[in-house]
Structure 1
């Protein structure tokens, strides 16, 4: 489980995992071979979605692709063995993670062990794309209609209630990438769904991804992204939803603000 991290100096955090010549070679390989490789992954659902066991092997394929992308970018996910074990044995939870940059999803896919079954929620509009629809359904993503908050909550709650205990949906409580130095305000969705389904919340704090890929930047720097897995958060049904949301945010803030 999460423990007090050792203080890391800025110079240590800014050190890339690979020397400059290696980084140049890796990025060259990514530029040359990346597009056809990721096109194969994108089109695989159109050809294989009806095959037996598709969801399982396709999800693992996507996870491997995320790990390879970070490796070629010389980006390392720093997560302790204890935190990996905690996630690997996690059940009956909703995963909640703060959102710093476009690297967050890739890093989470790389860091979470294969023994943990999880999925993401995606807005309904993305499912309307013929290319994305098959892959999203095949990977088991949860479709959310964000035009109506009530419908979105009902859809998400029903999806989570029907999930096996060992599967979790990943939610970003801030709703979007945060440009502030601290955490943004949390929306109530994760807490509402947890209270309705009786699941706990597994908070995950991610740091430094925005340092490697700030807003309006398209080429990430090399470096390390830190991930801390926290103890399960249990909603207090005797308290209000807003009180639970505030308590969850304060719990994650205490870890995020550590250097």
Structure 2
């Protein structure tokens, strides 16, 4: 019953959000980037928190002091569940876009708001498109907007950490921004770990300290340092 209620609520909330679309399009048409991002963040943040609450889940986040206030960052997070996007949208105190799988671009209304939020859709089966997507995400970072990437490239559906995709963190180096490791615990228990039925879970988010590309540790690559940071947190 909770699963049905969730999907009904999600559909109704997306339909309700349509009343804000003309205003966002107005901001885009008149190159009012700051206003567009502010409104999109306000709407998506409220929407995301309500989606998590409707599952009955709790979210505890620690390490917020590690997020720089005055610069865009690339958040690199493990990926356990489809709920990871609303969890991060709702509980990271910073406007963010996502490097998301291309399949999400086909979801009505949801894809509209993801695009408004400066999300970039990537098709890992198409190398040329993937390179264009990474360059687009780098440009967004350079414009002052933070991004989230899931370096595993797909959901683990567990507390295990998968292998990072090659080049998944290159956009941070290209944009000259720090990487903030994000460790999500137990989000898969909301849905994927329960035979694709919604149930409450106790989700924890750990925000790690900034990692700068190849500058503060010459013995390990940036990818290895980010991977080890997240893996170590998952094992605690």
TM-score, reference length from structure 2: 0.79
Judging changes above 3 Å, is the alpha-carbon distance between structure 1 residues 40 and 211 closer, same or farther for their aligned structure 2 residues?
Answer: same
Q: Secondary structure at the match of 2:64?
A: helix
Query: Once the 2 structures are TM-superposed, how far is the Cα of residue 127 of structure 1 from its aligned partner?
Result: 4.0
Report the secondary structure of 1:63's partner residue.
helix
Instruction: Choose the corresponding residue for 2:61, options 79, 82, 87.
Output: 79
Alpha-carbon distance between aligned partners in 2 of 1:162 and 1:33, rounded to the nearest angstrom: 31
Match of 1:61 among 26, 32, 43: 43
Describe the SS at the equivalent of 2:59: strand
Q: Which runs of 5+ in 1 are unaligned?
A: 1-23
- Structure label with greater radius of gyration: 1
Indicate if the aligned counterparts of 1:45 and 1:138 stay in contact, CA closer than 8 A: no
Retained in 1: the 8 A contact 2:84–2:187?
yes
Matches within 5 A, 1:68-217: 68-80=50-62, 83-87=63-67, 89=69, 91-113=71-93, 116-124=94-102, 126-127=104-105, 131=109, 134-164=112-142, 166-179=144-157, 181-215=159-193, 217=195
What is the TM-score with the length of structure 1 in the denominator?
0.73
The structure-2 alpha-carbon separation of the partners of 1:33 and 1:99, relative to structure 1 and needing over 3 Å to count, comes to closer
Q: Alignment length, in residue pairs?
A: 228
Q: 1:131–1:109: structure 2 CA closer, same or farther, 3 Å change rule?
A: closer
- 2 CA distance for matches of 1:92 and 1:49? 22
Q: 1:228 aligns with which of 196, 206, 210?
A: 206
- On the 8 A contact 1:87/1:112 being kept in 2, the answer is no
State the 1:56 CA deviation: 2.5
Kindly state the Cα deviation for residue 160 of structure 1 after the two structures are TM-superposed. 1.8
**SS of equivalent residue, structure 2 residue 26:** coil
In 2, Cα distance between the equivalents of 1:64 and 1:166? 22
Residue in 1 that maps onto 2:30: none
1:144, distance to aligned residue in structure 2 (A) = 2.9
- 3-state DSSP of counterpart to 1:51: helix
For residue 51 of structure 1, what is the aligned residue in structure 2?
Answer: 26
Deviation of residue 75 (structure 1)?
0.9
Structure 2 CA distance for partners of 1:40 and 1:197, relative to 1, 3 Å: same
